[in-house]
Amino acid sequence: MTDLQNNYKGVFDGRIGFGKHPALLIVDFINAYITEGSLLYSPDVVTAVDETIPLLEIARAKKIPVLYTKVLYNKNFLDGGIFVQKVPVLKTLIEGEPLAEIVVQLSPVESDIIIVKQYASAFFGTPLAPTLTSLGVDTLILTGCSTSGCIRASAVDGMQYGFRVIVPRECVADRHPGPNEANLFDINSKYGDVMAKSEVMEYLRKI
C-alpha cells in the first residue's frame, strides 16, 4: 500500500472538500443484501447499513435532502438490457418482491425522494442529476452498495455532473474487502473524497 500511495502521490491525491449545500444519497440498501439466504447477501453490507443510521439521523435533523435508489425491473426484464444478462441474479428485483425493498433500518419518510434505476449508476437513465440541481445541491454524500458497482459508477457520474462526491467509508460495502478497498482507493484518487464517517458527521453538524 505504501508503494501504491507513493506512486499516486502528487498526481492522484487531491481533495475537493465539502461545498455548502449537501444531499445524502443512499444507494441500493435493500433487503436482498442483508437477508441471509439471499444470493446477494453480504455481512459487510449489514454493517454498512448500521453505520449509516446515525448519518441519516443527522441529515434529517439538519433538513438536508435525502434521496434513495433501488433497482426494479419489469417482469419481462427487457428494461435490464445486457446488465441482467450479465448478472441474472438481478432478476429477483421486481415489483412486489420483499428483497427489492429498502431496508427498514433506513426507511424513507414522506419528504425523501426515491429513485428507481435499472443499471449501476444512480444517475444513468434517472432524474437524479436535475433533481439535485433543482435543490441547489453541490455536495453529494454517497452511501450504499456495492462499492465496486453502484457506488463507483455513481461516484464517477456524480463528479461528471459537477457534484462534490463525498464517500464515508464505513457507510459503503461490497461482497469482499478486496474490491471494497480497491474501489475506495480509486474513488478517492480520481472522483471524490473518501473519508471517515465522523468527519462527514462533523461537517453536517456545522450546517
Q: Cell numbers 449489514 correspond to what residue?
A: 46
DSSP-assigned states of every residue in 17-36: ---SSEEEEEE--BGGGTST
Q: Do residues 83 and 183 touch, judged by C-beta distance below 8 A? A: no
Which domains, ranges and CATH numbers included, belong to the chain? 17-205 (3.40.50.850)
According to the model, what pLDDT value does residue 7 have? Answer: 61
pLDDT in tens, the chain (207 residues): 567 667 666 656 778 999 999 999 999 999 999 999 999 999 999 999 999 999 999 999 999 999 999 999 999 999 999 999 999 999 999 999 999 999 999 999 999 999 999 999 999 999 999 999 999 999 999 999 999 999 999 999 999 999 999 999 999 999 999 999 999 999 999 999 999 999 999 999 999
Q: Cell numbers 447499513 correspond to what residue?
A: 49
Q: Which are the catalytic amino acids?
A: 150
H helical segments located in the chain: 2-8, 43-61, 81-86, 128-134, 152-160, 177-186, 197-205
Residues 6+ apart with CB under 8 A from 157: 121, 122, 123, 124, 129
According to the model, what pLDDT value does residue 14 have? Answer: 75
Q: Do residues 143 and 169 touch, judged by C-beta distance below 8 A? A: no
According to the model, what pLDDT value does residue 160 have? Answer: 98
DSSP E strand boundaries for 81-138 = 113-117
